[in-house]
Structures are given as C-alpha cells and as structure tokens.
Copies of this chain bind each other. A is one copy, B any other.
Amino acid sequence: MMPKNFLPITSTQVFIKHDHRACARSAMEAAHQLCAARGLRLTPVREKVLELLLESHQALGAYAILERLAQAGFRSQPPVAYRALDFLVEHGLVHRIEKLNAFVACNQPQAGHAPTFMICNNCHQVAETPGKQASGTLGKRARAIGFHIQSTVVEAEGLCAACQAA
C-alpha cells in the first residue's frame, strides 16, 4: 500500500542525481511523440531550443538561449528565441519561471498539469513537481471567493537538499 501522503516525486526530479543525458533523450522523444500526435511541427529551431533547455537542466533566459542558438548556426534576433519559446510553452513542453524571467524544459509534457517549481538559489537548478489544476490550497481559496482560475504560478525559492548540506 502507498503511504498516506504519497507525493509522486519522480525520476524527473532534477535535484536527485540521475543520468541527465538519458533524461533529456527521453523527454525529447516524448516531445516528438506529442507533436506527432497533435499535428504540431517541431521545427529545427524549436527542437534546438528544447534540446538546449533539456541539456542545461537549469532555467535559461531568452537571450542566453539566443546566444546558444547563434553558436549552433541559427539566426540570433530576439524573435527567433521568443517565437520558439512561445510555441514550446503553449504546448506545455517548456515552462516559464516568472521569478527568473527564464524558461525550463518540462520533463513530463502532458495536458492540463499545473506544476510547481522549486528554484535553488545556490546551484540554480529548477525542479518541477507535478500538480493538478485547482487542487490544494490555492484552489480552495479561489473557490471560497468564487474566483475562476485559468492559470497558476507557483514557485518557491530556497536551497535544495544537496546545497543545504554543502
């Protein structure tokens, strides 16, 4: 039987040591499948941006992405990065971290999730924990005042376990 307060912290939990390459590879595969299934075009720029984010396992700003794109032979005007990011965010392959004005790859792309993020102020990694829309405290508060939630931002800054130890 599962423990009472089971939280599905998965292999996608960034702070936990794991094989980044394998993790990135499987996320990229998931992205391809998702796009195929929905008839979306994961064009070269879009794929490259996703790849960069998956590799880094950190939040990257649009201009940091732009630099890396340029190094990889893509054009380097801001709209190039922003358009790719818009696409990826719209389809849930990437999330925007408001607190950082930056972006992270989603490691479990799927519809209708409302993830929460833990941002380590020391190692600058960002962990995503899965969440359902309107669950928990926020949903409760919204219902209490008749507020209809369309989207949520839930982010915590602090120190991950490893960085506390060090």
- CB proximity to B under 8 Å, residues A13-52: 13, 15-16
Q: Is A164 a contact partner of B146 (Cβ separation < 8 A)?
A: yes
Q: Is A140 a contact partner of B99 (Cβ separation < 8 A)?
A: no
Q: Is A150 a contact partner of B140 (Cβ separation < 8 A)?
A: no
Interface of chain A: mostly helix, strand, loop or mixed: mixed
Tell me the bound Cα distance from A159 to B142 in angstroms: 10
Q: Is A144 a contact partner of B7 (Cβ separation < 8 A)?
A: yes
- CB proximity to B under 8 Å, residues A120-166: 120-121, 127, 129, 131, 135-138, 140-142, 144-161, 164
Residues of A within 8 A of B (CB): 5, 7, 9, 13, 15-16, 98-99, 116, 118, 120-121, 127, 129, 131, 135-138, 140-142, 144-161, 164
